[in-house]
Structures are given as C-alpha cells and as structure tokens.
Amino acid sequence: MKQFEVPVKYRSPLITSVKQKRKQEDRLKKDFSPTLLDFGNLHIYLARHFGFCYGVENAIEIAFRTVAENPGKRIFLLSEMIHNPQVNQDLQEYGVQFLQDTYGRQLIPFDTITSDDIVLIPAFGTTLDLETMLQEKGIQTEKYNTTCPFVEKVWNRGEQIAKKGYSIVIHGKPLHEETRATFSHAAANAPAVIVNDLAEAKELAAYIRKEKPAAAFYDAFKGRYSAGFDIEKDLERFGVINQTTQLASDTQEIAEYLKSEMLTLHQLDSSTIQERFADTRDTLCYATNDNQSAVMGMLETEADLAIVVGGYNSSNTTHLVEICETKLPTYFVKDATNLLDRITIRSFDIHQKLEVEISGYLPEKAPLKILLTSGASCPDAIVEGVINRLVEMK
C-alpha cells in the first residue's frame, strides 16, 4: 500500500514499531488479538488495527502539500477535512478557512471566493451541486479533491447498479457529510432514499409491502429521498449501499433484512433474487471492517475497562465505542488531557452527545488491564499521549 507523507507530529515511534511488527507476523490480517504493552502494574492492550486509514492519510498529505506549495494564496476547505479536532485545528493555524461546518451550515459565503482561491474537497467527498458551483466559479477541484477512494468506490457501485435499472437505498446518517455526498451521486443516476438504521429499514419495508399508505412515506422520510421519488414503484428493484464508516454489521443486517423482504414479497429464491435485489456487499470500507473486527477481537481479552480515542463527531470512532460498551465500562476521549487525574476522566457520552466527568474510572488493582483503540481519523501520536498519561498516573 502507498506510503503517505503526513506531518511527523502525527506519528508515534512506539505505535509505528508495534504496527510494523504485527504486520510482519500477520500479513494476511487473520489475527485480531490485541498487542500487550506490559508496564508491570498496568497492562495496556492495543487493538490489532486502529488509527489513520488510507483515505485519511491521503487527505492529510494533499492538504498539507497544498498549504506548502501555495504561500500567500487563500485556501479554503468545504468543511472539516476529517473528523479529528487536532488535524482541523492545525490546518486552521496554517490559514486554511472552513466554508461550512460539518452539517453543511455556511460559515463563509460562497460568493466571497474567486477563481484565484483554492478550495479543498474533504475526505468525505461533496455533493454534485457544490462541485458544479465551484467549477462554474473557475475553481479547480480535481487537483485539490481529497475524497477517499473507498467513498468513490461506493459511488461507482451505485452508478453500476443504477445502469442496470435498480434504485438505491443508502444506509447512513442523513446529516453526515459522506452520506449527503453519496446521496447526491446516487440520486443523479437513480431514485434514492436514505435509512439511518434497521428500524427505518423496517419502516421502509412496510411501504414496499404497501402496508402503510404511500402518502405517509413522504413525511416520514422527508429530505431523504430523491426528487420525483415514487414509493409505489421505485423500490420494486433496488440495492443497498452505505456510508463507509457505519457499523459493517448494521449495514449487513439492513441489507439481509431488505433482501429477505424482497424474497418473500416476490416469491423468489437465491437463484432469482438479483431480479429484484442487487448484490452490493463490496461497498464496505476495508479500514472500517478491520478496525471493528479488531475491537471484537480485543474484547475477548479479560480487562477492566476500555478507552477509545478520537474526534467526538467521528462516525467510525463512535461505532467503536458502541461495540466496547457492550462488554466493558468504556470511555471516549479526544486526547490525554481528558484523563484529568487518577480519579476523574472527562468522557464523551455518545447517547447524550456531551462530555461528562466521571469519578473512579481506574480501579485500584494490579495489574490494571485496559483495552485501547482509536478511530480512523486519530493520529497515533495522540494515542501514545494517552498511553503515557496512563503510565504516569499508574
């Protein structure tokens, strides 16, 4: 795999050596057991896979190279480069300005940018409307497009099945940048609709079975279906694609559920199902799969608690927290500063969507066993900082 040039401050000599050793010992990535860092009375178990993925490193390399190669030029980002506060702050300190926030709300009016400016497209991609608007302004988008290749793979797969006459169901968070971009690309080629989770997939199935009045669909899924979408006919044939950072198991469950509904409704079998349901399993991101599988493998190790490091608005990181929470007390931190002392930790509650201070998070025992992982947009140096803080306190 390509090696990217990213700022050295994001690297960790400790974690780089651990990852290289694991890669040499397990080149086929079959072993998802964690790596033990033994500090005597503190045992830290590092997940087999975590941290920067291909798409994130690609985006960071392009962004910092663009800054270095264009002194004096105004450089903008459509929105956050990736969902990591440190990386985005670093870019802002280099003078990069954000045109929108992570939900698409305008921060700087588009009419203030000109053909002399540079606009970076973030790793999540962007909508066709925004890309067209930039091109009409004379702004080059190709050279400064950091869209993850695996996101583009999803778009390409959607286009392929659209050409075969399938509509498209997207599993994603409706307000997430990537889902908005994927919806835009899908809707340009076929009727498309977004479902957030299995419950919404089941609700959609009720409309497909005509158990719910068609008119109710347009209120229930307002803002999440393409122009001219006809619920009575547009889901007679469809496939499921996904926001790449969703839980792989959730996407699989939704796809299997909708597939079974089509099997029953149209009296098909496994040999004829493609008449109504497209096979799109290959749109799952390799890094999302690896990181989630690594957490599942890590949870087989006996431990006292888990710590997940990353940006609070990072979808893939949030899903790692969800997995860990099923087995252990789990703390979601952005960096080492969240570990206030041996008694108190500041952790992000993914259910309430806010930071909370929790006391007594480190049990008084020896050895204390902690599982540790991070999201795909989190620099390894930040994870090392958390390790150093734990060692310092223990």
How high is the pLDDT of residue 198? 97
- The owner of tokens 């450089």 is 75
**Please, where are the H alpha helices in 28-98?**
54-69, 85-93
Q: Judge contact between 189 and 227, C-beta under 8 A.
A: no
What are the residue boundaries of the structural domains of the chain, listed by start? 8-53+287-393, 54-136, 167-283
Dihedral angle, C-alpha 96, 99, 101, 107, nearest 10 °: 110
Maximum distance among all alpha carbons in the chain? 65
Q: Which of 178, 200, 232, 384 is catalytic?
A: 178
How high is the pLDDT of residue 324? 98
How high is the pLDDT of residue 83? 86
Class for the domain spanning 54-136: alpha beta
CATH of 8-53+287-393 given 3.40.50.620, 3.40.640.10, 3.40.1010.20, 3.65.10.10:
3.40.1010.20
Where does residue 264 rank: exposed (0-12), middle (13-18), buried (19+ CB within 10 A)? exposed
How high is the pLDDT of residue 270? 84
How high is the pLDDT of residue 76? 97
Please list the pLDDT of the chain residue by residue as tens digits (394 residues).
677 889 999 999 999 999 999 999 999 889 999 999 999 999 999 999 999 989 999 999 999 999 999 999 999 999 988 889 999 999 999 999 999 998 889 999 999 999 999 999 999 999 999 999 999 999 988 889 999 999 999 999 999 999 999 999 999 999 999 999 999 999 999 999 999 999 999 999 999 999 999 999 999 999 999 999 999 999 999 999 999 988 888 998 999 999 999 999 999 888 899 999 998 876 777 788 899 999 999 999 999 999 999 999 998 999 999 999 999 999 999 999 999 999 999 999 999 999 999 999 999 999 999 999 999 999 999 999 999 999 999 8
How high is the pLDDT of residue 340? 97
Catalytic site residue 178? yes
Q: Judge contact between 169 and 281, C-beta under 8 A.
A: no
Q: Which two tokens stand for residue 378?
A: 């989190």
